[in-house]
Amino acid sequence: MATCEKLAKCPFYQGQMSMDSGIGSMYKKRYCEGDKTLCARYRIATTVGPEFVTNAIYPNMSAQADEIIAKNKK
């Protein structure tokens, strides 16, 4: 799969979590370089808007993404 087009500017990786080691590296491989449609942050941003993606949302938080999307879907 192609690398997520939002990776370079994703706030999650801009100071919040390193992509080079540990869990940040695992998230990057699975969501950013794997299947971006599984990323909670990507799903929220593309479904209801990037303004609904907070710093507290990690890529693996699909249940929280579902809640945010359900509450804010137009």
pLDDT at site 15? 64
pLDDT at site 16? 67
pLDDT at site 64? 97
How does DSSP assign 23-44, residue by residue? HHHHHIIIIITT-GGG-HHHHH
Between vectors from CA 9 to CA 6 and to CA 15, what angle results, nearest 5°?
Answer: 130
Q: How far apart are CA 7 and CA 28, in angstroms?
A: 9
pTM score: 0.87
For the chain, the domains span 7-72
pLDDT at site 72? 95
- Per the document, the length of the chain is 74
Instruction: State the 10-residue block means of pLDDT for the chain, 74 residues long.
Output: 86 73 86 94 96 92 97 86
pLDDT at site 11? 82
